[in-house]
Amino acid sequence: MRLQGKTAIVTGGGSGFGAGIAHRFAAEGAQVMVVDRDAVSAAAVAGQIGGLSFEVDVSDGTAVQAMADAAMAAWGRIDILINNAGVTHLPAPMEDVSEADFDHVMAVNCKAVYLSARIVVPLMKAAGQGAIVNIASTAGVSPRPRLSWYNASKGWMITATRAMAVELAPFGVRVNAVNPVAGETPLLKSFMGEDTPDMRAKFLSTIPIGRFSTPEDIANAALYLASDEASMVTGVAMEVDGGRCI
């Protein structure tokens, strides 16, 4: 019960890493709001863990404000924010990625972190405590070819995490990131371009441990960073990658 009495918002919580984080946090005693663009998926996960659900486009400031308002109405505070929602463009030469795809990646992976900070950080400052965990990617550390703008968005998240950590530390708010390697999530096919045995083997050959990351792997890391056990840890971008970035 490492999060007993804590409240947590998990964006992109309807599937993949986000669902894994929501399940683990609830099992550790947290009250969890599962946030997703897919209201059905969010409600399903929330129902499984006895949490709340909220339909949100995280790149829409009005929607993010409504999310925070709902959490405050339910709990009176927000202790933990997990910025997990993310998207990618399909693998392609950088010059062939459409402007619409570029804008979508930057809106969900970057602007959403800004929007949530603008709205949630003042609440955490007022409380004198809080933990934010951004789910970035090894792509922001060791970029893969043909995913250039996705790589750039995750590099932005890592730098934003460190900048936020330095600024917010005096207010009792910690900010960290988790860098997963490719995982068994709905985005895996998009990263690879096609889900075939050959393509999987190609991706796995770059991971020394020899497997993809799982929602449980990422949930374990996020749990530590969000818990009081990590009270001296801020500005870290923890690689959970089976050695890919070595």
pLDDT, one tens digit per residue, over 104-151 is 999 999 999 999 999 999 999 999 999 999 999 999 999 989 999 999
Measured CA distances, 32 to 5, 64, 123, 189 (Å):
11, 16, 17, 28
pLDDT, one tens digit per residue, over 144-162 is 899 999 999 999 999 999 9
pLDDT, one tens digit per residue, over 186-234 is 777 676 777 788 888 888 998 999 999 999 999 999 999 999 999 999 9
The question of whether 224 is a catalytic residue gets the answer: no
Q: Round to whole Å and give the CA distance between 82 and 51.
A: 15
Domains of the chain in start order, with CATH, are: 7-240 (3.40.50.720)
Q: Residue 10: in which H helix or E strand, if any?
A: strand 7-11
> Measured over all CA atoms, what is the biggest interatomic distance in the chain, rounded to whole angstroms?
52
Among 17, 150, 191, 212, the one annotated catalytic: 150
Q: Two tokens at 47?
A: 């129902």
pLDDT, one tens digit per residue, over 44-63 is 999 999 999 999 999 999 99
| Res 194: pLDDT | 73
Work out the number of other CB atoms within 10 angstroms of the CB of residue 232.
6
pLDDT, one tens digit per residue, over 12-31 is 999 999 999 999 999 999 99
Q: Round to whole Å and give the CA distance between 198 and 95.
A: 26
DSSP for 57-101, written as a single string: -TT-HHHHHHHHHHHHHHHS---EEEE-----PPS--GGGS-HHH
Pairing of strands 130-135, 31-36: unpaired
In which residue are the tokens 């969890």 written? Answer: 32
Measured CA distances, 201 to 86, 196, 197, 204, 209 (Å):
24, 9, 6, 5, 13
CA proximity to 43, closest of 62, 19, 67: 19
| Res 7: pLDDT | 98
Amino acid present at 11: T
| Res 145: pLDDT | 92
